Chain A
Amino acid sequence: MHADVHDKLRDQVAAVMSDQAGIDVPDAEADLLDAGLIDSMALVTLIVAFEDTFAVQLPLDDFEIDRFRSVASIADFLASLGAEPVR
């Protein structure tokens, strides 16, 4: 994936988090779990929002929390499932 496409996906992940859950992420590498920015309820909301936005299905029965540690890791995870920036 090209760097600009990569950055775009990260931006869109951050935008989904901000728009749907009101969570403002300081930067793509920030540790969302350590900072307490997402809890179980927010995570479930976000998973559905990511699935909707990027038209992919997240495998919940093979769930590894580290994939949701930062905007960067979420974007990588989504990309590995075939997600591309929208529009």
Chain B
Amino acid sequence: MTAPETDRLQDYLTRSAERSPEAIALVLGDEVMTYGELEAAANRLAHALVEQGCKPGDRVGVLAAKTPWTIAALIAVLRAGGAYVPVDSASPAARVARIVRAAEPALLLADATATALVDGLVEEGIGDLTVGALAEPLAGQRFASAFARDDLASLPEETPTESIQRETDLAHLLFTSGSTGVPKGVMIEHANVVAFVEWALRHFGTRAGDRISGHPPLHFDLSTFDIYATLAAGAELHLVPASLGLDPKGTARFIRDRELTQWFSVPSVLTYLARFDAVAQDDFPALERLLWCGEVLPTPVLAHWMRRLPHVRFTNLYGPTEATIASSFYDVPEVPPDESVPVPIGLPCDGERLVVLDGDTPAPVGGIGELHIGGVGLSPGYWRDEEKTAAAFRADPRDPSMRIYRTGDLARVDEDGIVHFLGRTDSQIKSRGYRIELGEIEAAVNTVAGVRECAVVGVDTGGFEGTTICCAYSVADGAELPAADIRKHVTALIPRYMLPARWEVLDALPKNVNGKIDRPALRERFAAAAAKTTAKTTPTRSPGGRPNAR
């Protein structure tokens, strides 16, 4: 393992911009930004941040759609010596307000998609917000931007040198779902991301001619792989428009027409495209590799893709945000002969350690235990939350000088050292790649007047569908509360991807012998209803077959 050429994420851009300033870096629709343009935009924006009082170590919130200028903004924050906090601008104001209160950003960078959200933040009682606009000036009902893109032209296009010498190690804070309803901020340092990017460049042989997909949203840590591996290689990053989210044929056309060489997304996208039979035999001739991460890709879906695209390399990546992007990989050697066997999560990436512990002792080969991760990707912990940090990060019992993170995932290691994922130990689920604490959804549903009791469960519909979020509830005596009303209320509290897809109102929730809500019984109840869905929409194995053939 060679030492990386850089220990700062933003240096990847500078090096590639010096090598080939005219090369294309970022593409979204008709919008194209070269390496030279990206470098200049990031630097000018960094000067604007410094002028507005951003100091080394400060956090800067980024509330904007996934565009070339938003990526320039992320790098600008690093150039100004700060750490960025990417926030989903489609998230409700009440939730973003909790994130902003926790992160205490010196300022916000926003675009027009976030105008109502910033108004909402002011309404939630967050005052003194300085907002920089990434495009046109922003004027909400309760705020106006302090500067906009047009104001940047007069600023120097060189890096602000005064700040670069006093940078902190923190690169970004990524907020994930918390079980009590309060999002947790995972601290990620430059070195964490650099370590993964360097491994990935070697493992995949990423080069300047690559055309790489940018599918995950920017508040999701998988996007940092897309961005920084692309910039390191001097390749092209093709941002996938959000409008393609529901359009399987459009997504396939995007991969084909952009001649992408790498596709990386959460498994639900691959499942969705397979379900609608959007990928033809030997489609995407330019595609060299297809990677996924974030949740389990059902083996029948993987087999479908591998049969359709025999020229492509398929790699499963695994790892929680706390250990940065991914910690292990599995290159699938052949079309899985047995589609009932899950895909392994594989071997540790360079510098990572995967440890399966049974209590304090490493589990024997083949023994089940809780997966712990240590090594180069390990986050220093949760932002300003020692309690949660102490609960999740611990000393490695085999070597107390080393820290490890308790993933909450059950796993076993086989005789070849390959790690296999077996499920969760708690109530965290993955839906469409998003990591969701069911407790956060329950906390939101319980705020709705008229709800007597509620339980939210994740139902694995047995292969294709992934985990479906289901909510059962009962209402107070005399109250009438249709699911649509609850849904409307909780939409203001939790992001859309957390909204239950199925609802059921019951006279009373089932209880176990201890008087607690019987969640397994509820899961079975929803699973029985969902079984029908799966039976109908599993893809056929024959090429060109109708995926919904009965």
Contacts and interface: CB of A to CB of B under 8 A. Distances in A.
Interface of A: 18-24, 33, 36, 38-45, 47-48, 51-52, 57-61, 63-65, 68
Interface of B: 90, 243, 245-250, 268, 272, 275-278, 431-432, 465-466, 468, 482-488, 496-497, 499-503, 532-533, 536-537, 546-548, 550
B533 A44 contact: yes
Given A39-B246, A39-B432, A40-B246, 9 more contacts: A21-B501, A22-B483, A23-B484, A24-B485, A38-B246, A48-B532, A59-B548, A60-B275, A63-B248
A68 B482 contact: no
A18 B497 contact: no
B533 A45 contact: yes
A68 B249 CA distance: 14
A48 B249 contact: no
Contact of B249 (A44, A52, A63): A63
A22 B487 contact: yes
Nearest to A46: B501
19 contacts: A18-B483, A21-B502, A22-B484, A22-B487, A22-B500, A23-B484, A23-B487, A24-B484, A36-B496, A39-B496, A40-B245, A40-B246, A40-B272, A41-B432, A48-B532, A57-B548, A61-B277, A64-B249, A65-B248
A69 to B, nearest CB: 10
A60 B487 contact: no
B259 to A, nearest CB: 23
Given A39-B245, A40-B245, A60-B275, A45 B484 contact: no
B307 to A, nearest CB: 16
Contacts of B465: 41, 44
A45 B514 CA distance: 34
B277 to A, nearest CB: 4
A45 B246 contact: no
A68 B277 contact: no
A65 to B, nearest CB: 4
Contacts of A39: 245-246, 432, 496-497
A48 to B, nearest CB: 5
A64 to B, nearest CB: 7
A39 B278 CA distance: 17
A65 B432 contact: no
Contacts of A44: 272, 275, 465, 533, 537
